[in-house]
Structures are given as structure tokens and as C-alpha cells.
């Protein structure tokens, strides 16, 4: 009988132990650090650790911001689940803003969704709440503020997060890059004008761009490059640039990004066009002899590119 009693006690203890293993640990989730992702590359922009190497400014072209916690959160407060897939809430627990957001905005307007990733992407025990922009890019040289709602960022038992409810990240000043090459290009070349964040519309950029050869202005038009919101193209009107010539491109100060933030200093670059080639481009009216044939222009008209943002594919943890 004593042996049977001992066996029952052992079984009871084992059962209690198993129950504790499946129970989620209690305690408020702690915000450990924030990672700003640009083209997949992470930059540390905030950390609970005072000695961490936090960057002073973040690339304005950021598209995903990870808020990393030390434990599991209640996913149902962060995102909804429809048909087994995560769906952003209309009123997410993290919102984004900057001082003149209500009066100066890009086209299409800035928008972002908030999702939850319960996988330990940043180390054992970590989970991530992330803000993902629908179109990549933030305004240049701007203090971007993230507001965190502790009532929406809780443990599975409803315990509110530990950490700041407001985090501000400053973005880098606007940079514009023009083509620089020692090789010649076809006379139908479209010169790229690349912004460090989402670029403006063609109409907004055109007054700031000047294309010349030997000091004489050349006719051109600005188009967007399909699929890349940071890149616009200067295309010759009439199909071709003059052959065998140095073409100078100048972007003047004040050229805006998509959010109206101005370029501080002029940017200049040049390229050389190829001499006459053996074939004539039948679609062009240049009449000074045979011209350099090349692939057709890859640019598009001034329609904003389709939304490139997609939700994180990590499983939802909302239930």
C-alpha cells in the first residue's frame, strides 16, 4: 500500500509539471530594441541597452520597422486572422507620424500596416511586432514618430508592455544620384535620376532638371521607372540624344522627394553618346544620318508604381 501511494504521488507531480510546461510565462513583455529595415538591411535605431550602437539617422527609404520584444505577445490584439492569414487591424497598436504629415503628403499617401511575428527571429524567446509600409519610403531629413499603445501590446494574459510609448527616428537628408560612366551609351539612352527615398512625380521634378550639350539645352521628358519608386528617367524628346556628344544633366537645389523634402545642393553628371551606328531607328525623326539602335525605353508614364509591400509570411499568433 505505501508503494502504491508513492506511485500516485509521483504521477500527480509529473502531471502538474507537464501542465506548467505548456503554460505561457507571466509578466509584461519588454521592448528590447527597434530595427529599421531598408532593402532588407537592418539598422538599429533604438535600444533598451544604453551601450548599444544606435544609429543617429536612418535611411529614408525604410520599408519595415521591427519592434523586438523579449517574450510572447497577444497576437489577437495586434492583427486579425481571416482564413488562416494575418490581416492588419484598422486601428493598429503602433502608429506613424511626423510634424507636417497632415498638410504635406506623397501621392499615393503614406500608409503602413502592423503585423505580429511569433517566431524568434532575433534570438531565443523573442517575438516581433513590425510596421510595414505599403509603398517603401519616408520623408527625408524628418523626425518620424512611432506611438506604441501598451493596451494593444500585451502578454497573452493582458499585461501591458514595458518600454517607451513614443519612439522618434530621424531620417537621412535627401540624396540624388545621377549616372556616371566612362563608357558610351546609345543615343536613345534614358538617364536615371535616383532618389534616396521615394521620388516625386514627373511633373514635380521636371522644373529642377536641366539637360544640355555644349551649354545648349536639349528637349527631354521625365518618366518614372516601372517597379522602382526611387528612380525616374530623363528621356530625349524625339527619341534620340545627339550622337557622339557629351550630355550634361543637372538637378537643381530644391528638387523634392515624394514628401516635398528638398534637395540641399545641386547634383551634376555627364554621359557620352555613341557615334552613328549602322541602323536607323525607324521610330525616330533624327535626320543627320544613321543612328544608334538600342532597346526600347523601359520607363513608364507618370503613374505611381504599384504597391510593393507585402505582409510578413510568419504565422499569425492571434488566437
Per-residue pLDDT 10s for the chain (319 aa) are 454 454 444 444 444 444 444 566 789 999 999 999 999 999 999 999 999 999 999 999 999 999 999 999 999 999 999 999 999 999 999 999 999 999 998 888 999 999 999 999 999 999 999 999 999 999 999 999 999 999 999 999 999 999 999 999 999 999 999 987 778 999 989 999 999 999 999 999 999 999 999 999 999 999 999 889 999 999 999 779 999 999 999 999 999 999 999 999 999 999 999 987 434 454 454 433 333 333 333 344 444 444 444 444 444 444 3
Question: Which among 111, 77, 107, 75 is positioned nearest to 96, based on CA atoms?
Answer: 111
Complete DSSP assignment for 55-114: -SSB-TT--EEEEEESS---GGGTEEEETTEEEE-SS-SEEEE-TTTTTS--SSPP-EEE
The reported pLDDT for the residue numbered 300 is: 41
CATH number at 253 reads 2.60.40.3710
Residues 202 and 261 in one domain: yes
Residues 253 and 159 in one domain: no
Grid coordinates of 299: 520607363
In a domain, 4, yes or no: no
Omega of the bond leading into 108 within 30 degrees of 0 (cis): yes
* Separation CA 48–CA 298 (nearest Å): 46
Residues 205 and 81 in one domain: no
Residues 196 and 111 in one domain: no
Residues 187 and 202 in one domain: yes
* Separation CA 168–CA 142 (nearest Å): 10
In a domain, 278, yes or no: yes
Tell me the CA distances in angstroms from 263 to 256, 267, 302, one per residue in order.
6, 9, 21
The reported pLDDT for the residue numbered 24 is: 67
Give the SS3 label for residue 177: strand
| pTM of the predicted protein model | 0.80
Residues facing 42 on adjacent strands: 37
Residues 50 and 161 in one domain: yes
Quote the strand ranges of 214-262, DSSP E: 216-217, 220-225, 231-236, 246-251
Grid coordinates of 108: 499615393
In a domain, 126, yes or no: yes
List the domain range (segments joined by +) for residue 199.
Answer: 176-300
In a domain, 17, yes or no: no
Residues 34 and 160 in one domain: yes
Residues 231 and 163 in one domain: no
Residues 153 and 252 in one domain: no
In a domain, 5, yes or no: no
Is 176 in contact with 195 (CB distance < 8 Å)? yes
Report the number of distinct structural domains present in the chain.
2
In a domain, 258, yes or no: yes
Give the SS3 label for residue 8: helix
The reported pLDDT for the residue numbered 291 is: 30
Residues 42 and 143 in one domain: yes
In a domain, 187, yes or no: yes
The reported pLDDT for the residue numbered 308 is: 41
The helices-and-strands tally (H runs, E runs) of the chain is 2, 20
* Separation CA 268–CA 147 (nearest Å): 40
Last residue of a domain, one of 170, 193, 223: 170
Last residue of a domain, one of 153, 170, 187: 170
Question: In this structure, what DSSP letter does residue 171 have?
Answer: B
Residues 144 and 235 in one domain: no
Residues 212 and 76 in one domain: no
In a domain, 40, yes or no: yes
Amino acid at each position: 500500500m505505501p508503494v502504491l501511494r508513492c506511485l500516485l504521488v509521483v504521477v500527480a507531480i509529473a502531471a502538474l509539471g507537464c501542465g506548467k510546461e505548456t503554460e505561457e510565462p507571466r509578466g509584461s513583455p519588454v521592448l528590447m530594441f527597434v530595427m529599421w529595415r531598408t532593402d532588407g538591411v537592418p539598422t538599429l535605431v533604438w535600444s533598451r541597452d544604453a551601450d548599444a550602437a544606435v544609429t543617429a539617422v536612418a535611411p529614408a527609404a525604410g520599408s519595415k520597422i521591427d519592434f523586438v520584444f523579449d517574450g510572447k505577445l497577444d497576437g489577437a490584439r495586434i492583427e486579425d486572422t481571416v482564413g488562416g492569414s494575418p490581416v492588419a487591424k484598422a486601428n493598429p497598436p503602433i502608429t506613424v507620424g511626423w510634424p507636417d504629415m497632415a498638410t504635406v503628403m506623397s501621392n499615393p499617401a503614406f500608409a503602413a500596416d502592423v503585423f505580429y511575428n511569433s517566431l524568434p527571429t532575433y534570438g531565443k524567446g523573442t517575438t516581433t511586432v513590425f510596421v510595414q509600409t505599403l509603398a517603401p519610403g519616408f520623408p527625408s531629413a524628418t523626425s518620424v514618430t512611432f506611438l506604441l499603445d501598451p493596451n494593444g501590446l500585451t502578454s497573452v494574459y493582458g499585461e501591458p508592455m514595458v518600454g517607451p510609448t513614443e519612439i522618434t527616428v530621424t531620417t537621412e537628408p535627401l540624396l540624388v544620384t545621377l549616372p556616371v560612366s566612362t563608357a558610351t551609351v546609345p543615343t536613345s539612352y534614358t538617364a536615371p535620376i535616383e532618389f534616396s527615398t521615394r521620388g516625386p512625380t514627373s511633373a514635380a521634378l521636371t522644373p529642377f532638371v536641366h539637360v544640355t550639350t555644349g551649354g545648349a539645352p536639349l528637349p527631354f521628358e521625365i518618366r518614372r521607372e516601372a517597379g522602382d519608386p526611387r528612380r525616374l528617367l530623363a528621356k530625349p524628346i524625339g527619341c534620340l540624344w545627339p550622337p557622339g556628344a557629351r550630355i550634361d544633366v543637372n538637378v537643381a537645389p530644391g528638387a523634392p522627394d515624394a514628401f516635398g523634402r528638398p534637395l540641399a545642393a545641386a547634383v551634376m553628371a555627364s554621359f557620352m553618346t555613341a557615334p552613328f551606328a549602322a541602323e536607323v531607328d525607324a521610330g525616330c525623326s533624327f535626320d543627320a544620318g544613321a543612328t544608334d539602335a538600342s532597346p526600347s525605353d523601359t520607363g513608364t508614364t507618370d503613374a505611381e508604381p504599384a504597391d510593393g509591400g507585402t505582409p510578413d509570411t510568419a504565422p499569425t499568433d492571434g488566437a
